[in-house]
Structure 1
Amino acid sequence: MALKLTFQFYDLPLAHPFTISRYTVNVQKTVVVCISDGEISGYGEATVNPYYHSTVERLTESISKVKPIIENSEMIHPSDLWQIVAPHLQEDYFALCAIDEAYWDFYSRRHKRTLRSFWAAADENLPLTSYTIAIDSIEMMQQKIIEKPWPVYKIKLGTQNDLQIVELLRKTTDSVFRIDANCAWTADETIEYSKIFKQLNVEFIEQPLKANDFEGMKKVCEHSVLPIIADESCQREDDVNSCDGLFHGINIKLTKCGGITSALRMIENGRDKGLKIMAGCMTESTVGISALAQIAPLLDYIDADGALLLKQDIAKGVSFDFGKIRYSENFGIGVELYTEKSI
């Protein structure tokens, strides 16, 4: 039976304004791709994100461009389909991600398997997901922690009073902190902060410098007393090689690298280089988060809280119990849309 590709845009209202060092979001727009043979459907997601030039218009154009390729394809392995589609979407890996996730979901459902069963034998020793505390007044950041007790928090920084924020938040909870500066610091600041943060039960620092500050990152990697994890510096597969020697680990985002197929190769390459492996998310619905959670057995750290930040979700699938991943019992990524509209 021939495949059919459809897609639908959704507005995802957030429970609180989400602010990082670059911008603030109140409503997250996202696209959900469906690949179906009329009997079984698979789903994938990619968010609209101006920083990465991901817009409604661009996603629409990109997905529409490769729609005939998908619909004329035979039942092939997802990694083979990725190789066919990727050359047409070199400028839009967000669209490639949504398509790759949807096809992996379809493929694994067609084979009556969970997606993670292709690379993991059991759901054991899974990393705890962090819960993100976005930039806000210190009082509001403290209040968010009180409202959402969690074992690991990712604290977004990049303000004039970052040290004070962490010191005061530490008085609010004993949970582990992970710090994400989103490229806002200098090398010297990062090294100095690392000494203070280590005493405040901070586990690691994510992307403290601008992505192209290679000299600064080399200095930080050598002198920081906390592990440094690449995010903006590690977007696609080739970046893993560039991060070797500049970071202690990498944060893989499915939307940035083009989906699960590419992420699996990045994990293997990162392991070969002795890097710690993390995977993170955008502010996605449970569709994208359920896809991300499938690679959790391969990770050291995971930040899969995107759907937890929403006021209203569009699907059910993976869930989280005080940081612990709870998988759906369904095949594929295990997701079910609350309403399929025109998908």
Structure 2
Amino acid sequence: MRIEIETFTVNKRFPLTISRGTTSQTTNVWVKIEQDGITGWGEASPFSLGNHQQSTEVLKAALQQLVPQLEVYNPLQRQQIEGVLNSQLPSAAKAAVDVALHDWLGKYVGLPLWQIWGLDCSRIVPTSVTIGINTPENAKARVRAWLQFAEVRVIKVKLGNPIGVTADREMFLAVQEAATTQDIFVDANGGWNLEDAVEMCKWLAELGIKYVEQPLAQGEENKLAELKKRSPLPIFVDESCHTSRDIPQLAPLIDGINIKLMKAGGLTEAMRMVHTARAYGLQVMFGCYSDSTLANTAAAQLSPLADYLDLDSHMNLIDDPFMGAMLQAGRVIPNHKSGLGVERSAA
């Protein structure tokens, strides 16, 4: 097979601030795998999380180094290819190759991935859109802008403000005031200590919130047992859970996991994570980083298996180069085209 790698830069309509910083622009990597006149597409988007510092430069260099090892295979030789990918390849680079191989396979057999897996798209739940850390007035304005831009049924509020939980409360109440008919979820991105997390979980539970995501920082998993005992809300983890190998030790301490293709290393591992989580009685969410429509459409192929979805990054781009899954009644729905069903946007 022949592999091409190129980069593309995307800009956010609304810069996103979380507990670890602000992003307004990213440069992602586009991987194309060609065999027998069929081309499969995949995407690697950079992210920084603890020891996982996966910059665009790191991802591109890793993929370029891998190309000679992969081009000797046919895309159907997945077991051999996975052995190559399971080296020390950054997870986002692995995701790009894995997604491209899935796209190629779907096009090869002439079916969308969700149909190959026998999934039911009517079970896809609404996706949340994200309101980053901001002042109360700016957060309210951001909610109104989202509601004018798209049919929004769920809002995810980023808390964990470095200023403290008083600022978190003020911002949350402002969002709640602006979002009168939407469900609201909360993601602290590890921005709270244990006592603040307990306090905020109790406060948010009184306001009818269904769960809280990543209340404690990555590396503080030893405190999750105490939080679970004292919190009235279900606890989801994101930064603390990368692959299926992380789930067994986390399962007694949490209620759900957030699966992201860039963390997991693609659709193959994402499916493993779903099955492992279900075996432990956990709920499942799919999320994203600064992914374009390409990667989020890939995640949408698996989304009938999720309890919650946070696949909104592509909707916040002003220059997304791809078209694929579409927002319908607040839900990101893949189409009936073969593979991912992703095409280039009109110039």
For the aligned pair, the TM-score class normalised by the smaller chain equals over 0.9
Distance in 2 (alpha carbons) for counterparts of 1:103 and 1:145: 37
Q: CA deviation at 1:8?
A: 1.1
Match in the other structure for 1:83: 82
CA contact (8 A) 2:111 2:336 kept: no
CA contact (8 A) 2:26 2:290 kept: yes
Q: CA deviation at 1:116?
A: 1.3
Distance in 2 (alpha carbons) for counterparts of 1:28 and 1:10: 8
Match in the other structure for 2:57: 57
Distance in 1 (alpha carbons) for counterparts of 2:331 and 2:93: 29
Match in the other structure for 1:156: 158
Match in the other structure for 2:278: 271
Q: CA deviation at 1:234?
A: 0.2
| Secondary structure of the corresponding residue to residue 34 of structure 1 | strand
Distance in 1 (alpha carbons) for counterparts of 2:72 and 2:296: 28
Q: CA deviation at 1:56?
A: 2.5
Which residue, out of 146, 163, 172, partners 1:166? 172
Distance in 1 (alpha carbons) for counterparts of 2:38 and 2:263: 27
* CA separation of 1:215 and 1:60: change in aligned 2, threshold 3 A: closer
Match in the other structure for 1:303: 310
TM-score between the two structures when normalised by the length of structure 2: 0.92
| Secondary structure of the corresponding residue to residue 208 of structure 1 | coil
* CA separation of 1:253 and 1:37: change in aligned 2, threshold 3 A: same
Match in the other structure for 1:103: 101
Cα-to-partner distance string for 1:276-331 (whole Å, 9 max, x where unaligned): 01111112110011101011011111110010111111100001134212322311
| Secondary structure of the corresponding residue to residue 245 of structure 1 | helix
Residues 280-295 of structure 1 correspond to what in structure 2 (within 5 A)? 280-295=287-302
Cα-to-partner distance string for 1:45-91 (whole Å, 9 max, x where unaligned): 1112244311232112211122123211124264x255222233x24
* CA separation of 1:13 and 1:75: change in aligned 2, threshold 3 A: closer
Q: CA deviation at 1:127?
A: 1.4
Q: CA deviation at 1:339?
A: 7.2
Distance in 1 (alpha carbons) for counterparts of 2:244 and 2:325: 26
CA contact (8 A) 1:42 1:106 kept: yes
CA contact (8 A) 1:228 1:247 kept: yes
Q: Which runs of 5+ in 1 are unaligned?
A: none
Structure 1 residue identity aligned to 2:295 = G
Q: Which runs of 5+ in 2 are unaligned?
A: none
CA contact (8 A) 2:324 2:341 kept: yes
Match in the other structure for 2:215: 208
Residues 1-343 of structure 1 correspond to what in structure 2 (within 5 A)? 3-37=1-35, 39-51=37-49, 52-76=52-76, 78=78, 80-88=79-87, 90-149=88-147, 150-159=152-161, 160=164, 161-174=167-180, 175-338=182-345
Distance in 2 (alpha carbons) for counterparts of 1:293 and 1:31: 19
| Secondary structure of the corresponding residue to residue 252 of structure 2 | coil
Distance in 1 (alpha carbons) for counterparts of 2:82 and 2:334: 29
| Secondary structure of the corresponding residue to residue 189 of structure 2 | coil
Q: CA deviation at 1:38?
A: 5.5
The alignment's C-alpha RMSD in Å is 1.7
* CA separation of 1:225 and 1:283: change in aligned 2, threshold 3 A: same
TM-score between the two structures when normalised by the length of structure 1: 0.93
Structure 2 residue identity aligned to 1:137 = T
Cα-to-partner distance string for 1:180-229 (whole Å, 9 max, x where unaligned): 10111122221221121123232211001012212321111122111110
Q: CA deviation at 1:119?
A: 2.1
Q: CA deviation at 1:33?
A: 0.7
Distance in 2 (alpha carbons) for counterparts of 1:173 and 1:82: 47
Structure 2 residue identity aligned to 1:28 = T
Distance in 2 (alpha carbons) for counterparts of 1:128 and 1:142: 21
Of 117-126 and 231-240, the range deviating more from structure 2? 117-126
Distance in 1 (alpha carbons) for counterparts of 2:80 and 2:274: 20
Number of residue pairs aligned between Structure 1 and Structure 2:
336
Structure 2 residue identity aligned to 1:217 = L
CA contact (8 A) 2:293 2:320 kept: yes
Structure 2 residue identity aligned to 1:327 = P
Distance in 1 (alpha carbons) for counterparts of 2:119 and 2:191: 40
| Secondary structure of the corresponding residue to residue 211 of structure 2 | strand
